[in-house]
Amino acid sequence: MTKDEMTYLKGIVRNIPDFPVPGVQFKDLTTLFKDPKALKMLEQAMLELYQGKGVTKVVGIESRGFIGGSMLAVHLGAGFVPVRKPGKLPAETIKKSYAKEYGTDTIEIHSDAITPDDIVVIHDDLLATGGTMLAAYELVKSMNPKKVYINFICGLEFLHGRDVLPQDVEVTTLFDF
């Protein structure tokens, strides 16, 4: 991704003060998704990161991770696996609870979603404190895939979310605030 593309993307991210709770400056990435030029830039940048790495599954975290994750899976010829809130997946699941910047939550994945032969990219839109991604990583890792990559559209560096993620896993963000 070029510096001009990064500047363009950062420039259209909308800030929502005091959402979902007072004191949080929410970075609304839906402004990227509704802009065709931005969406194409995101698609190309993610594809460049993972093309040729043998990715067989892309795991997207509910709900905005479904957007970029699905795009990436299609272009890589990989399967897409959703990670969802409890009670949303119809078959047998495994779950993980975690702390996030303004409370606690739980996520689930189908227990048969990942195999030991898989090379996985776990994708979400935003890296804040890292709690959601760490929980998703632990769920995926419990299924013993060959390799796991972690990807975000953007990161909030001041929250140090990378610090909670495993040091031996490649973690990428397309841009950071």
Q: All domains of the chain, ordered by start, with CATH? A: 53-176 (3.40.50.2020)
pLDDT digits (tens, 9 = 90+) for 123-169: 999 999 999 999 999 999 999 999 999 999 999 999 999 999 999 99
The predicted structure's pLDDT at residue 100: 72
* Coil vs helix vs strand at 125: strand
User: Does the pLDDT at position 21 exceed 90?
Assistant: no
Q: What is the pLDDT of residue 44?
A: 97
**pLDDT interval class at 101 (50, 70, 90):** low
- Residue 44 to residue 140: CA distance in whole angstroms: 25
Residue 98 has pLDDT above 80, yes or no: yes
Quick check: 81 and 65 in contact, CB under 8 A? Answer: no
User: What percentage of the chain reaches a pLDDT higher than 90?
Assistant: 93
For the entire predicted model, the pTM comes to 0.96
pLDDT at 13: 98
Cβ of 112: how many Cβ atoms within 10 Å?
Answer: 11
Catalytic residues: 64, 101
CA proximity to 150, closest of 127, 177, 117, 116? 127
**Mean local confidence (pLDDT), 59-86:** 98
CA atoms within 13 A on the CB side of 120: 28
Q: What is the mean pLDDT of residues 14-30?
A: 93
The chain-wide mean pLDDT, for the chain, equals: 96
Report CA-CA distances (Å) from 30 to 26, 136, 141: 11, 22, 29
Residues present in the chain in total: 177
Which residues are paired to 127 by β-bridges?
Answer: 155
pLDDT at 103: 73
Please tell me the predicted confidence (pLDDT) of residue 24: 86
- Distance, in Å, from the CA atom of 5 to the CA atom of 90, rounded to the nearest integer, reads 39
| 40-54, 76-90, 102-116, range with the lowest pLDDT | 102-116
- Output the pLDDT for position 61: 98
